[in-house]
Amino acid sequence: MKTLTLLLDKQLKPVFLRIAYGLRHAIQTGKLTANEPLPSARKLAEQLGTNRHTIMAAYQELIAQGWVESIERKGYRVAQSLPIEESNHSLSYHPLVEKAFNWDINTDISESSLDKPAHKYRYNFAGGSPDVSLFPFKDFKSYMNESLSRPNFDDLNYGNNAGNNNFIHQVKTYLRRVRSITDKEIIAVNGSQEAIYLIARLLLKSGDKVAVESLGYQPAWNAFKTTGADLVPIQQHDNGIDIKQLEKVFSTTDIKLLYLTPLHQYPTTVTLPIHERMAIYQLATKYNVAILEDDYDHEFHYDCQPLIPLAAEDPLGLVIYLSTFSKIMFPGGRIGFIAVDKALVPAIMRYRSVMNHKPNVLMQDAIGRWMQDGGFERHLRRMSKRYHQRRDHLIQLLNMYKAQGIALDYDLPAGGMSLWLDIKSHAHELEQVCHENDIYLAAEHHFHLDPTKDENRYVRLGYAGLSSDALTAGLHSLFTLLKEVQSRGY
Ligand SMILES: Cc1ncc(COP(=O)(O)O)c(C=O)c1O
């Protein structure tokens, strides 16, 4: 017989009624279901530290009300058909039943307006969705099996919180080789979002100012806002953040942190030229601003080798670099990492222990083995090739629609998983109609910090998660809807 945890109201007397109410509440809230056996009076009395007669009286009360039945030689069980609550008067005065609790909830972060997740739409043009169906689950299973066959007991226990040693070693080696990041410490995190929240908690206080790209990543903004910090938007030009405006803001406002997606700007996908990245670093040193560099999908870079991030040349150690396995593997894996100057590590670990000791150690261990064996980079090469083909297919289709007279423009994204498409007008309306027709798409208004800057002409088209056939069919539906929306002019 399972142990019952009852909600008992100490104010309620006599005791048998208190227990009867606790049992009834367990039935009403689904903890006990129709026909479920109940503990014997003796067992429940032992559990609750009372005597058998009190329990029998409680059961009798509930039998009288129709919540419980007594079956000969089998004992008590929850009634097969439960009474309608309104017909029961004897216990309904209890305050918990009469009114709902009034939650006073902080409303400092923006709500999502989606009624279902993007991947549930027939065509999902969400910008950051990888094609999870192409993940080599069979290969990866062997690394998971190894992790379970030869568990690392240091990891399985509390402590060792920065991450699995081999995972950290593999990430460091990889970053040194492909990103030229040589002098940072690695901390494993549950995806970049946790890292952004962690860094926000660590560095920001109420009233601090965070400079962000004026078009950007709302989940990061939300994390900053939870600390009470204010966001300062910096305008963008064709290649990313506007350095002149950044300098003006740095020189006139006390900025604590700059959050940046320089390699593939989110959401426009453009790459900030190297001399501008260097200029930003100079400004950050001059005005003593820390930089949070979010490198979320730079593994997928098609037209040249992946570029070197700001974190690679950071003699002052002011750049905190983030990356994630969400795009390379799948977002549900929840593994990412922070590459940070060693001076910050103890403070980050202290803050992390407040919310979460460490990410899932089996996943870290398996990824470490996968990286060590070369499987990770093989997968990366395969996926880069596939996403590159999808990007090119998308471009072909867009050019075809353009040739048919649809007004559209775009800059060829050098990498990543999405394209920033200028459809000239009705972006918001197109998004709405697409959602109604089972197509997921995000228009520019989702990405503006200042809503008055919305020109209602750009949409973010994710292509990585769609096969060539799905891209062809999805775009056909999308442009049919666009023509309708624009001709109706609403
Ligand atoms: C700009 C940016 N940062 C970070 C992430 C990744 O988040 P996570 O690692 O929490 O899945 C994304 C994913 O969409 C993103 O677009």
DSSP 8-class letter at 321 = E
DSSP 8-class letter at 301 = B
Nearest by Cα to 366 from 376, 378, 356 = 376
230-234/209-213 β-pairing: parallel
pLDDT number for residue 87: 45
* Cα 193 to averaged position of ligand 1 atoms, centre (Å): 6
| Cα R_g (the chain), whole angstroms | 29
pLDDT per position as a tens digit, 153-182: 999 999 989 999 999 999 999 999 999 999
* Cα 171 to averaged position of ligand 1 atoms, centre (Å): 18
Q: Is any ligand 1 atom within 6 A of the Cβ of residue 213?
A: no
Q: Is any ligand 1 atom within 6 A of the Cβ of residue 192?
A: yes
Confidence grade of residue 1 (pLDDT, cut at 50, 70, 90): low
375 burial via Cβ count (<10 Å: 0-12, 13-18, 19+): middle
359 burial via Cβ count (<10 Å: 0-12, 13-18, 19+): buried
pLDDT per position as a tens digit, 323-358: 999 999 999 999 999 999 999 999 999 999 999 999
Confidence grade of residue 93 (pLDDT, cut at 50, 70, 90): very low
Cross-sheet strand order for the sheet of 409-410: 409-410, 418-422, 458-462, 442-443
* Cα 270 to averaged position of ligand 1 atoms, centre (Å): 17
Q: Is any ligand 1 atom within 6 A of the Cβ of residue 190?
A: no
Domain with CATH 3.40.640.10 in the chain: 135-376
Task: Give the Å distances, CA to CA, from 49 to 44, 213, 406.
Answer: 8, 62, 77
pLDDT number for residue 90: 47
pLDDT per position as a tens digit, 134-148: 999 999 999 999 999
207 burial via Cβ count (<10 Å: 0-12, 13-18, 19+): exposed
Q: Is any ligand 1 atom within 6 A of the Cβ of residue 359?
A: no
CATH of domain 135-376: 3.40.640.10
> Which of 189, 197, 212, 217 to mutate for ligand 1's pocket (most ligand atoms within 8 Å of CB)?
217
Q: For residue 274, what are its two tokens?
A: 């190297």
pLDDT per position as a tens digit, 208-254: 999 999 999 999 999 999 999 999 999 999 989 999 999 999 999 99
Pick one of 3.40.1480.10, 3.30.1300.10, 1.10.10.10, 3.40.50.12500 as the CATH number of 15-98.
1.10.10.10
> Is the Cβ–Cβ distance between 68 and 82 less than 8 Å?
no
pLDDT > 70: what percent of the chain?
A: 95
CA–CA separation, 61 vs 416, rounded Å? 66
pLDDT number for residue 101: 80
Domain with CATH 3.90.1150.10 in the chain: 118-130+378-488
> Is the Cβ–Cβ distance between 459 and 443 less than 8 Å?
yes
Rounded average pLDDT over 63-78: 91
* Cα 448 to averaged position of ligand 1 atoms, centre (Å): 17
pLDDT number for residue 98: 54
Would you call 414 helix, strand, or coil by DSSP?
A: coil
> Is the Cβ–Cβ distance between 20 and 61 less than 8 Å?
yes
CA–CA separation, 70 vs 41, rounded Å? 11
92 pLDDT above the threshold of 60: no
- HSE-CB of 190 using CA atoms within 13 angstroms: 13
68-71/255-260 β-pairing: unpaired
pLDDT > 90: what percent of the chain?
A: 82
Pick one of 3.90.1150.10, 1.10.10.10, 3.10.129.10, 3.30.559.10 as the CATH number of 118-130+378-488.
3.90.1150.10
488 pLDDT above the threshold of 80: yes
